[in-house]
Chain A
Amino acid sequence: MIPQAVEAAVSRVVSPDELRLALESTIPAAEREEVLELVRWFTTRYASGEARLAYVRQAVAQWQRAHATRGRG
């Protein structure tokens, strides 16, 4: 279960300034390259849309199993 404080932090609505920054700020070259490298890895390893979605379902299921186990322990 996600603690309430964490839930509140991730669910809050950002400020207009935060949104403006996300839309307009210059994205550093290093961040851009890191993201594109991840995209290259992901689309090479999982070349089709179906494979990418299947990977996500599997990864989420693993995460949920791990957290359910911890919750019981």
Chain B
Amino acid sequence: MEASHFDERSFFSAVHASGVRALLIGRRALVLLGLPLLTADYDYWIAIDDIERFNTLAAAFQLHPTRTAADARRHGRYVLENDEHVDVLVARSLPTLHGSPVDFEGLWTRRHTIDVGTVPVCIPSLDDLILTKQIASRPKDLEDVRLLRILKESPR
């Protein structure tokens, strides 16, 4: 594995500057919202047309795709990795466990931004984060659903 000196803020800055439609999902989005959770990985859902640009900016951080862009489009997901691990969803739509479609375009339209330093990072709305957690539907996703419900139902 290739060692990197990953600068998180620089990575977010490169994502923002690239114009790639990229949503930070997963537990890092929950951390930005104020939930103290541990996670080693980054999770993104990006527009299917933006794979090449996302890979180009990631290459500057020595992050290498596990699939070609064409292959990623067929599978709906891929990974960027070195000693960091970035899971990337690229499907236009994915079903929840109950079979309801979750569309990237809808998530993107309803997105929120949170500043990391001076860099805006795009994340789904609280309702949409709850939906994204229902795609994988593992036990830890259900824990996150409860945490997100508490945030959503509490005055801030």
Interface residues of A (CB under 8 A from B): 9-14, 16, 18-19, 22-23, 27, 31-32, 35-36, 38-39, 41-43, 48-50, 52-57, 59-60, 63-64
**B59 interfacial by beta-carbon distance below 8 Å:** no
Interface size, B (range): 35 or more
Name the one of B35, B116, B137, B141 contacting A39, with C-beta atoms under 8 angstroms: B35
Give Cα A42 to B31, complex, Å.
Answer: 9
Say yes or no: A60-B38 contact (C-beta < 8 A), given A14-B97, A19-B97, A27-B146. Answer: yes
Which residues of B sit under 8 angstroms from A63, Cβ to Cβ? 38
Give Cα A42 to B151, complex, Å.
Answer: 14
Interface residues of B (CB under 8 A from A): 8-9, 28, 31-32, 34-40, 97-98, 114-117, 121, 130, 134, 136-142, 145-147, 149-151, 153-154
Which residues of B sit under 8 angstroms from A53, Cβ to Cβ? 8, 28, 31-32, 116
B117 engages A19 (CB within 8 Å): no
Give Cα A39 to B149, complex, Å.
Answer: 13
List 20 additional contacts besides A19-B137, A39-B36, A53-B31; criterion CB under 8 Å: A13-B97, A13-B138, A14-B141, A19-B134, A31-B146, A32-B150, A32-B154, A35-B35, A39-B34, A41-B36, A42-B34, A42-B35, A43-B34, A50-B116, A52-B31, A53-B28, A55-B36, A56-B37, A57-B8, A64-B40
The residue on A at minimum CB distance from B8 is A53
Which residues of A sit under 8 angstroms from B97, Cβ to Cβ? 13-14, 16, 19
Say yes or no: A60-B40 contact (C-beta < 8 A), given A23-B145, A39-B35, A49-B121. Answer: yes
